[in-house]
């Protein structure tokens, strides 16, 4: 599973960790996040995230 980084503030969503504080379980791929998911630091939407190339 790929991690994604916020283009605005550089917060990283790691699917292996999920985002428990936001109700996102570990193991949840970025693609499966709700359409209204927002960066927990700056509030931008999923469209402002870029895949981190491995």
- Side-chain-side CA neighbours of 30 within 13 Å: the count stands at 19
Whether 46 has a binding-site annotation, put simply, is no
Q: Is 39 annotated as a binding residue?
A: yes
Residue 6 marked as a ligand binder: yes
CA distance 8 to 16: 22
Ligand-binding site membership of 42 (annotated): yes
Q: Which residues are annotated as a binding site for Fe cation?
A: 6, 9, 39, 42
Detail the residues annotated as belonging to a binding site: 6, 9, 39, 42
């Amino acid at each position: 599973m790929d991690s994604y980084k916020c283009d605005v503030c550089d917060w990283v969503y790691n699917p292996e960790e999920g985002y428990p504080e936001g109700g996102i379980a570990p193991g949840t791929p970025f693609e499966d996040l709700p359409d209204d998911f927002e960066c927990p630091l700056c509030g931008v939407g999923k469209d402002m995230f870029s895949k981190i190339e491995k």
